[in-house]
């Protein structure tokens, strides 16, 4: 938190990276911070004490590679915001009615960030803040610092949202389940308000969303975790519609070249043995024979749904690695899972707690990914060239699933019709075992459909890697971003 970076040239670009405190936001923005530092920029990665534990690995990695990345811990006065002590991450919010206080509490980071930034030369500084951190707009404005916005979701989702909002379609439907087509797309994409509208749709959040929109509209440019070749027409159209510079610089997970870096992404939670156990298990499996089942960092699966997944996997007869979160565990769940694992006779492995996802996806034995379609997970599967069984839960996930299944042709949906908010208390299963079996067999069963998806997925994986290499689209976009950001006029 002290002054300039010691011994560093203040004329060098200085990026201040401000992620929302949620794994799906911190992980890609930490990767972005590492990529920027890898290009010689000085980077301040802004976080809070509880989250610093999870980001420590990224800072250590930077230090070991001689990169100038500083982890900056700002205090978040939880009690003053009506939150329990230490409630500094979306995955630590204990109940739904504390989300609004959580989002409001983020504004309290503005003053400490201003104090930190006052010691930095504005001429070489640029904030890159998460779209969910709109309070950075006032900070940048007051200090005369440039600001870019980072979007976590796919460009496809962003474009669909823009088009839906422009045509006011959400206000025109009779009910939340009525289906309609997203306007101004080259392809027919059918959605409902229930599945396509942003989540967190409860009283009081509208003001938070309005603030986010204002901050986005007034930002100097937009940074995306995607690559041009994946979402070409979306990027072109999105850029045209927002009327400002858009830099697709992903997949940012490809910053990590070796297993060590991949293993520690988002680390600091629990359950990690560096991936050694699961990787060893995977080594003994046939090429592309294993389905990896994981629903990101937030979505929670309850016992009835776990049973349907298990029965579906059993009926499909596929090998699997299944990640079950700590928050999903209970005596009943543990008993059922142990019996199930035993019954599967070595065909499957259940891992409890945080898993090293990008390492698992990169294992040659993994041939499919049952995913909730969080954008990071989706892009990580694309990068690994692995086809998907899509099971969206909420937020951008339904549209990401449409992109995977209907636009890119690298996945099969399990057929989920309704969102399930991750803290919902309903116990019912939303997808039955037969639907799980059908989708898993299509992707893993070796039929023509599965083979074609696999071929397309591998091709995209190759393009993803090329995009991040020197001369590739994302590599060059990052160069351009650094140059353009430094050439922007200072905020007034
Ligand atoms: N992730 C992981 N291990 C886990 C769960 C998640 O490494 O056990 C990572 C995953 O690789 C991805 C991120 O957490 O980078 C989750 O982001 P995503 O956008 O897919 O979903 P969210 O968690 O935001 O719903």
Q: State how far the alpha carbon of 146 is from the alpha carbons of 13, 136, 284, 350, in Å.
A: 12, 10, 51, 46
Of 51, 129, 53, give the one whose Cα is nearest residue 90. 51
Give residue for tokens 């503005």: 110
Give the CATH class of 271-465. alpha beta
Q: Is the CB of 55 within 6 Å of ligand 1?
A: no
- Tokens (6 digits) for 488: 């922007």
pLDDT tens track, the chain, 492 positions = 444 565 566 678 999 999 999 999 999 999 999 999 999 999 999 999 999 999 999 999 999 999 999 999 999 999 999 999 999 999 999 988 899 999 999 999 999 999 999 988 878 899 999 999 999 999 999 999 999 999 999 999 999 999 998 998 878 888 888 889 999 999 999 999 888 875 667 778 889 999 999 999 999 999 999 999 999 999 999 999 999 999 999 999 999 988 888 888 887 554 556 677 899 999 989 999 999 999 999 988 888 899 999 999 999 999 999 999 888 888 899 999 999 988 888 899 999 888 999 999 999 999 999 999 999 999 999 999 999 999 999 889 999 999 999 999 999 999 998 888 766 666 666 899 999 999 999 999 888 989 999 999 999 999 999 999 999 999 999 999 999 999 888 766
Ligand 1 near 24 CB (within 6 A):
yes
Domain boundaries, the chain: 14-255+467-487, 271-465
Residue of 420, 474, 491 lying closest to 235 (CA atoms): 474
Residue to substitute in 21, 22, 23, 300 for testing ligand 1 pocket (most ligand atoms within 8 angstroms of CB): 23
Query: Sign of the CA dihedral 316, 317, 319, 324?
Result: positive
CB contact at 8 A, 364 and 378 = no
How many angstroms does the Cα of residue 303 sit away from the middle of ligand 1?
21
CATH superfamily, domain at 14-255+467-487: Glycogen Phosphorylase B; (3.40.50.2000)
**CB 367, CB 289: distance < 8 Å:** yes
- The Cα–Cα gap between 239 and 226 comes to 14
Four-point Cα dihedral 336, 337, 338, 342, nearest 10? 100
Which of 272, 231, 279, 260 lies closest to 378, judged by CA?
Answer: 231
- The C-alpha atoms of residue 102 and residue 81 are separated, in whole angstroms, by 7
**Ligand 1 within 6 A of CB of 297:** yes
The angle formed by the CA atoms of residues 201, 372 and 162, to the nearest 5 degrees, is 50
ipTM computed for the complex: 0.99
pLDDT in tens, 270-314: 455 667 789 999 998 999 999 999 999 998 888 889 999 999 999
Residue nearest to atom 15 of ligand 1 (CA): 376
Exposed, middle or buried, 371 (CB in 10 Å: 0-12/13-18/19+)?
Answer: buried
CA of 283 to the centre of ligand 1 (A): 23
Fold matches, 14-255+467-487 and 271-465: yes
* Ligand 1 closest atom vs CA 27: 15
Q: Which long-range contacts (CB under 8 A, 24 or more apart) does 277-283 make?
A: 277/351, 278/321, 278/349, 278/351, 278/355, 278/356, 278/360, 279/359, 279/360, 279/363, 281/321, 281/349, 282/321, 282/360, 282/363, 282/364, 282/365, 282/366, 283/363, 283/365
DSSP H or E segment with residue 368: strand 366-371
């Amino acid at each position: 938190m002290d002054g300039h970076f010691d011994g560093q040239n203040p004329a060098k670009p200085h990026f201040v990276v401000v992620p929302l405190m949620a794994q799906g936001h911190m992980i890609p923005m930490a990767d972005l911070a590492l990529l920027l530092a890898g290009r010689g920029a000085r980077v301040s990665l802004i976080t809070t004490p509880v989250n610093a534990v999870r980001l420590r690995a990224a800072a250590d990695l930077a230090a070991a590679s001689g990169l100038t990345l500083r982890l900056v811990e700002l205090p978040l006065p939880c009690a003053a915001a009506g939150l329990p002590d230490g409630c500094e991450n979306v995955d630590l919010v204990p109940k739904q009615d504390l989300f609004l206080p959580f989002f409001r509490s983020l504004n309290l980071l503005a003053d400490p960030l201003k104090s930190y930034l006052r010691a930095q030369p504005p001429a070489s500084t640029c904030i890159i803040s998460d779209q969910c951190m709109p309070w950075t707009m006032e900070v940048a404005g007051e200090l005369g610092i440039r600001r870019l916005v980072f979007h976590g979701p796919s460009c496809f989702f962003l474009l669909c949202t823009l088009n839906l909002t422009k045509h006011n379609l959400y206000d025109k439907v009779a009910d939340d389940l009525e289906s309609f087509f997203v306007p101004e797309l080259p392809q027919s994409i059918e959605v409902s308000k229930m599945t396509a509208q942003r989540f967190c749709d409860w009283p009081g959040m509208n003001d938070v969303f309005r603030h986010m929109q204002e901050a986005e509209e007034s930002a100097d440019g937009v940074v995306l975790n995607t690559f041009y070749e994946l979402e070409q027409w979306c990027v072109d159209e999105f850029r045209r519609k927002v009327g400002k510079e858009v830099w697709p610089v992903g997949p940012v997970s490809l910053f990590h070249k070796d297993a060590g870096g991949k293993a520690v992404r988002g680390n600091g939670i629990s359950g990690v043995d560096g991936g050694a156990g699961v990787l060893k298990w995977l080594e003994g499996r046939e090429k592309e024979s294993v389905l990896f089942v994981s629903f990101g960092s937030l979505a929670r699966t309850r016992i009835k749904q776990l049973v349907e997944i298990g029965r579906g996997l059993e009926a499909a007869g596929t090998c699997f690695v299944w990640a079950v979160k700590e928050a999903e565990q209970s005596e009943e769940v543990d008993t059922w899972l142990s019996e199930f694992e035993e019954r599967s006779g070595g065909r499957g492995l259940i891992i409890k707690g945080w898993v090293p996802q990008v390492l698992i996806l990169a294992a040659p034995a993994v041939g499919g990914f049952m995913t909730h379609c969080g954008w990071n997970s989706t892009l990580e599967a694309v990068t690994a060239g692995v086809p998907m069984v899509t099971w969206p839960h909420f937020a951008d996930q339904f549209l990401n699933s449409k992109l995977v299944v209907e636009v890119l042709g690298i996945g099969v949906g399990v057929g989920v019709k309704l969102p399930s908010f991750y803290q919902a208390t309903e116990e019912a299963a939303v997808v039955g075992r037969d639907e799980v079996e059908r989708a898993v067999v299509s992707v893993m069963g070796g039929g023509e459909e599965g083979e074609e998806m696999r071929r397309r997925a591998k091709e995209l994986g190759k393009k993803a890697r090329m995009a991040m290499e020197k001369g590739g689209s994302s590599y060059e976009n990052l160069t351009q971003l650094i140059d353009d950001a430094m050439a922007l006029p200072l905020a007034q």
